[in-house]
Amino acid sequence: MTPQQLKSAINKLPQKSGIYLFKQGSKILYVGKALNLKNRIGYYLKPINTRLQEIVSRAKRIDFIETGSDIEALTLESQLIKKLQPKFNIMLRDDKQFFFVGFSNEDFPKIFITHQPDQLKALSLKPKAKFVGPFTDGTALKTTLRYLRQIFPYCTCKKPHNNFCLNYHIGKCPGFCCLKSTNTSNRFLKLSYDNFRKRQDTRIFQKEYRKNIKAVKDILSGKKTSLLKRLEKEMIKHGREEKFQEAIELRKKIEKIKRVFENAKIVRNISYSHISLYGSGRGNVPCAKKILGLKQPPRRIEGYDIANIQGKYAVGAMVVFTLQQSSGQANYKPDKNEYRKFKIRGVGNDGDVRNVGIDKNNNSNKRSDQTFRTVRTTQTSGDTGMLKEMLERRFKHMEWPFPDLIIIDGGKAQLSATLKVISNFKFLISKQIPIIALTKDEKHRGSKIYVSNKKTAIALSRLPISVKNLLLHIDAEAHRFAIGYYRKLHRKKILFT
């Protein structure tokens, strides 16, 4: 790869966190992680050593995978290096630049970082320890462990001691796991320790501690989704058994995990139980009806978004929010069984016959069950053309319930495209489905909306806070769903081509 080719590749990279792969044909030479992909690859224009020069000279192209956070980039990089064994990553092992996280095999397992897991096992220093890695960034790894320890406390004391450690008092250690004995002048501590040792559920305490260790291990192994599902099931179980305190603690942990991995563009701190189109204030109902021009609260809202990189791996997503009664109050909640994913196959310049795929299986942990039909599509140019293609495919499915409100990401062009698609379906014209196009500013924040029955744009600041939050949340959910599907397809493509 020449410097000119490298510069051209850099110009196509996003300024986001993710993984980059130097490839020689289908062979992967090197896998790296970056907080900012564009800036990181820029360093390869002036390689600091002969090894980096060799990577650049051999590489024919650079692929990348966007991630929502630095932690996801850290764990994904580790998985790819372990799975793909890239030549230049393996060579770097000799320089002790790789980090491994070890989990000891004790009643209360310890977590530690090492460069040489094989040597520890060979010397019988940690004979039964299990390791996760390799990781290339020690600073990011230690920061990640600090974050996780706040959510899942674990012990780091090297030796047992007679008093509760400092970490116990600041919530980073369970406490009893590192106590030595009851030889203490602290009467309260002595009673607490005796009660703990005499209790018949000591194993339960150890089990809870081991759950924390397993949670940390799962996240570092890239199993965040399965961990969240497990915690959510456990939370629901505690709620049914009326163990409300335990359920609340689990909910807090789930929220903290999501916050750590959260993409900055996603709308934060919006609880489903507080999302209502008209809110609880008396003045919101007439205000929202007047601004949005809705005759009655929609029972089904569909949100749409497109994800692609310069037209490649283009996908579309449809999310559905339905009006549901909860605790005597009507709120909008996502109906994930109704979510749909679309492969955009009409990207081109000739308006020829193309395949358009629709994916009804929204379980990201299973293989997608996709059905494809051959249809004639018009020229798909940019996000507007892709949106039209997706909507055409959606409204051909008359067996799907029709929306009472459509929310799309974009401005006047996207609104006009949506209206044009609807006008092609005679049975939709009579329904007069209202459409809202959400426009964002240069910082990717919602700024105004275009409504199908209004001539001028409406500033989001004019809307009741509950309406504004709902629109932003649906838009963010559609964006999240589309990006997730895009990354999945993109990742498969660059790993197997």
Higher pLDDT: 349 or 390? It is 390
Percent of the chain with pLDDT over 70: 66
Confidence of residue 105 (pLDDT cuts 50, 70, 90): confident
Q: Are strands 300-309 and 405-409 parallel, antiparallel or unpaired?
A: parallel
Do the Cβ atoms of 172 and 149 come closer than 8 Å?
yes
With 0-12 / 13-18 / 19 or more C-beta atoms within 10 angstroms meaning exposed / middle / buried, residue 8 is: exposed
pLDDT in tens, 426-458: 777 767 888 999 988 766 677 788 888 787 888
Tokens of 200: 């018949």
As a whole number of angstroms, the distance between CA 157 and CA 440 comes to 50
- Half-sphere exposure of 131 toward its Cβ, with a 13 Å CA cutoff? 19
Q: If DSSP codes are grouped into helix, strand and coil, which group holds residue 471?
A: helix
Residue 100, pLDDT score: 80
Residue 135, pLDDT score: 75
pLDDT in tens, 403-427: 888 999 888 889 999 998 988 887 7
Confidence of residue 184 (pLDDT cuts 50, 70, 90): very low
Residue 141 clears pLDDT 60, i.e. is over it: yes
As a whole number of angstroms, the distance between CA 434 and CA 331 comes to 19
Residue 351 clears pLDDT 60, i.e. is over it: no
Percent of the chain with pLDDT over 90: 4
Q: If DSSP codes are grouped into helix, strand and coil, which group holds residue 371?
A: strand
What does residue 90 show for φ and ψ, rounded to 5 degrees? Answer: -65, -40
Residue 303 clears pLDDT 60, i.e. is over it: yes
What does residue 342 show for φ and ψ, rounded to 5 degrees? Answer: -125, 130
Count of positions (residues) in the chain: 497
Higher pLDDT: 217 or 309? It is 217
The domains located in the chain, with CATH, are 3-95 (3.40.1440.10), 107-112+138-222 (no CATH), 274-495 (3.30.420.340)
Residue 318, pLDDT score: 93
Q: Which residue has the tokens 């530690």?
A: 112
Higher pLDDT: 381 or 298? It is 298
**Around Cβ 294, how many Cβ atoms within 10 Å?**
18
With 0-12 / 13-18 / 19 or more C-beta atoms within 10 angstroms meaning exposed / middle / buried, residue 32 is: buried
Higher pLDDT: 389 or 467? It is 389
**Around Cβ 328, how many Cβ atoms within 10 Å?**
5
Tokens of 17: 């966190």
Structure-derived torsion over alpha carbons of residues 70, 76, 82, 88, reported in degrees to the nearest 10:
-60
Residue 472 clears pLDDT 50, i.e. is over it: yes
Residue 292, pLDDT score: 64
In the predicted model, what is the mean pLDDT of the chain? 72
Residue 315 clears pLDDT 70, i.e. is over it: yes
Is the Cα torsion angle 178, 180, 181, 185 positive or negative in sign?
negative
Higher pLDDT: 339 or 64? It is 339
As a whole number of angstroms, the distance between CA 392 and CA 386 comes to 10
Mean predicted confidence (pLDDT) in 199-211: 66
**CA distances in angstroms from 296 to 221, 278, 293, 323, listed in the order given:** 48, 10, 9, 12
Q: Is the peptide bond before 134 cis (omega within 30 degrees of 0)?
A: yes
Do the Cβ atoms of 191 and 172 come closer than 8 Å?
no
Residue 302, pLDDT score: 94
Higher pLDDT: 199 or 71? It is 71
Confidence of residue 366 (pLDDT cuts 50, 70, 90): very low
Mean predicted confidence (pLDDT) in 464-481: 84
Higher pLDDT: 196 or 452? It is 452
